[in-house]
Amino acid sequence: MMTRPELEGVIGHELSHIKNRDILLMTVAVVLAGFVALAANFFLRLSFFGGGRRNDRSEGGAILMILAIVGIILAPLAAKLIELAISRRREYLADASSALLTRYPEGLASALGKLGSYQAPMRSANLATAHLFINDPFGKKSGSSSGWIERLFSTHPPISDRIQALTGGRQS
């Protein structure tokens, strides 16, 4: 499906993830996200069991409990959104590093164009591994027409934005 320069661009992109230590960074992000969730869970349990020693609940204890419940709900969501934002930024970095490695950004831009126009889903697409692919494995068209919520929860930036960043706005 790809020419040699396009394949070199894709391989350069994937090697750039290794060179830039993206797996290490994402592991740290996941651990920090887990820590935030554990801290919220700790405060929720503290408000139930370790708060005031009196039998009647004071206003401070009720406020702490409400804040803990809100935190336990919002903390994992906020942590996941931060993790996804880091993932999208690392994709741009891997694209730029691939362009430096191959010295031919048009190869990766052309490969991304081909991958973006290919809409057939993979046979064994899985949500747990979707972030590992260079394109959406579910076959959805990832262009700039996607909504802001879809962009917020995506692991990769839109292909059209990546192509524009690689070519500097020039059409290849």
* Nearest one of 21, 25, 45, 22 to 33, comparing CA atoms: 25
Selecting among 6, 8, 14, 83, the annotated active-site residue is 14
**Dist. CA 13–CA 102, nearest whole Å:** 9
138 contacts 114 by C-beta, under 8 angstroms: no
Give catalytic status of residue 59 as yes or no. no
Is residue 50 classed exposed, middle or buried when 0-12, 13-18 and 19+ CB atoms within 10 A define those classes?
A: exposed
Q: Tell me which residues are annotated as active site.
A: 14
